[in-house]
Amino acid sequence: MKRHLKFLPALRAAVFALSLCGLGLSPDQAKAQDEKTLRVGLQALPPSLFNPYRNTGLPYVYTWSAVFDGLTSIDAAGSLQPWLATSWDRVDPLTWVIQLRDDVTFSNGTPMTAEAVVAAVAFLTSEDAKSETVARMLRFLKDARATGPHTVEITTTRPTPLLPRFLPQLYVVEPDYFAEVGLEAFAQAPIATGPFIVEDIRPERISLRGFTESWRPPLVDRMELLSLPEMSTRTMSVRAGSLDVAIGIGPDEVSAIVADGGNEFSWRDAAIWSYHFIDDRHPAFADIRVREALNIAVDRQAIIDGLLNGATVAATQPAPEVVYGFNPDLPPIPYDPNRARALLAEAGYPDGFKFIIEATAGSSANDSAVNLVVAQYLAAVGVEMEIQTVTVNQIIRNVVEGTWDVDAFGLHYNFEPSIEALRALDTNSCVWRHPWYCREEVMPLIAAAESELDPARNLKLRQDAMAFYRNDWAALFMYQAPRFAASSAAVTGVEVVNNFILFDRIALNAD
């Protein structure tokens, strides 16, 4: 019997071919049956579809990184790297010259030239873009002009010494098509430079095919991005074979997939998970001694070791070490419950107090468990933290609109995509339309840091801003945000850098 096993592959191929004929499949349909389709499970798909200027965070960037490219990128060490741009030079305080790759093609076959960057800047500085998040993040842009086929000159309204660090979010799209169809239609059928082309968009699934002429072509033929909000669903789908990759799961879920023979992946975001105190909501938070007490009442390292597999590091300030402007002179935050009780008594709360916090469940690694353990640490010093579980979208809505009904909330200090210290302070300061933390005394320091041209002074100003936030105990700083993913055994090459999934490097091998 064994001597006939060598004929099995040919027999299976013949049966497969006959089945195609019986189904009446065309040659193209038959080819599709043989194509490698990568199925990736995400917590959510972007509500704004493929409007590349609507947001800069999750879940948007996970999806957009399959289609869009910015001019630069920031690597996992926080260093600036070429992307669609190959070089950049500041020629005067307000002017930069950017050199572009000369081998990039849009997914409709049109070569990418400097005019595409000019068009993108023109849109972002127009009235039509005033409601777009990226336009606000790049509000210092003035205009751009092509000085050669692949050379563009960008001018700013004020000195912007770190301009290249902001350019990962300046996604370059096919300008003629964008102008012809408008932003709303473009968001449903984008044309850009990334490794995949959008074919079909449904509420819970986006279907894409590989763009083989991309400057970073994919290793699979097709891809499906699936919205699966529950970690458990993403995990079980990989274990059952209906999903290839589960993004954004917890350590326990990773272990379950690995036990089945799958692969694990992890990385750290350029973000610090924190619990934010809302100004003027609870009288206790107005006292710096209370804010310090809450910080030193929590054993961060125990949480990291027990709930996060030791995959990250405790926070010392709003920024993690990878961020330009991280202050290395700030010491670790001690775990000192006895001093926490003493500070609370000095502030007039010897018996503690109660506050209400909004927090998400399932949006980051073991967040529900972390929330409960933090509440237990605070209870040990007499402070009752009541947790109200809400969705990520509700947190975002409250951030944008200021519609808080609680005293505090859980959210990252997020420094992506520029990975520099002022990025998170754009929201966590008086600059924000509906600020929850506003200290006028730090605003001149932030303003000076934005435009300081001397590199050493520029860095020092950012470090001073981080020291201010730490010394004012602006939030309950926890740890650099770890992320976990897992896949079937057939998948290799999952790599995520600053929330940008390098889809072109993911391979789906034969079982």
Strand 408-414 to 496-497 pairing: unpaired
The answer to whether residues 477 and 275 touch, using CB atoms and an 8 Å cutoff, is no
Q: What is the mean pLDDT of residues 306-333?
A: 97
Q: Across residues 471-488, what is the average pLDDT?
A: 97
Helix (H, G, I), strand (E, B) or coil at 482: strand
pLDDT at 72 over 70: yes
Over residues 254-260, mean pLDDT = 96
User: Which top CATH class is 35-67+194-262+488-511?
Assistant: alpha beta
Residue labelled with tokens 């055994």: 489
pLDDT computed for residue 43 by the predictor? 87
Q: Which residue has the tokens 């799209």?
A: 173
Q: How confident is the model at residue 21 (pLDDT cuts 50, 70, 90)?
A: very low
Phi-psi category of residue 49: left, alpha or beta, with phi > 0 → left and psi -120 to 50 → alpha: left
Q: Is the pLDDT of residue 85 over 80?
A: yes
Summarize pLDDT for 182-240 with one digit per residue, the tens.
999 999 999 999 999 999 999 999 999 999 999 999 999 999 999 998 889 999 999 99
pLDDT of residue 511: 58
d(CA 411, CA 388): 14
Q: How far is CA 338 from CA 292, 293, 380, 401, 508, in A?
A: 12, 9, 10, 38, 54
Q: pLDDT tens, 387-398?
A: 999 887 788 889
Q: Rounded to whole angstroms, how far apart are CA atoms 506 and 79? A: 23
C-beta separation of 38 from 245 below 8 A? yes
Backbone angles phi, psi at 505, to 5 degrees: -100, 0
Neighbours of 448 (CB within 10 A): 15
Quickly state the pLDDT bin for 126 (edges 50, 70, 90).
very high
CATH number for domain 74-174, candidates 3.90.76.10, 1.25.10.10, 3.20.20.70, 3.40.50.300: 3.90.76.10
Mean pLDDT within 403-425:
93
Return the sign of the alpha-carbon dihedral for residues 416, 494, 226, 361. negative
pLDDT at 9: 36
Please tell me the distance from the alpha carbon of residue 53 to that of residue 68, in angstroms, as a whole number: 11
- Give the strand pairing for 72-74 and 80-82: antiparallel
Return mean pLDDT, the chain: 91
Confidence of residue 34 (pLDDT cuts 50, 70, 90): low
Asked whether the domain spanning 74-174 has the same topology as the one spanning 35-67+194-262+488-511, the reply is no
Q: Helix, strand, or coil here: 481? A: strand
Domain boundaries, the chain: 35-67+194-262+488-511, 74-174, 269-482
Torsion of CA 192, 196, 198, 199, to 10 degrees: 140
DSSP 136-169: HHTTTEEEEEEEETTEEEEEESS--TTHHHHGGG
Share of the chain above pLDDT 90, in %: 82
Tell me which CATH code domain 269-482 carries: 3.10.105.10
In this predicted model, what pLDDT tens digit does every residue of 325-357 receive, in sequence order? 999 999 999 999 999 999 999 999 999 999 999
- Residue of higher predicted confidence among 14 and 362: 362
Q: Is pLDDT at 40 greater than 60 in this prediction?
A: yes
pLDDT at residue 11 is higher than 60:
no
Beta bridge partners of 477: 274
- Per-residue pLDDT, 30: 41
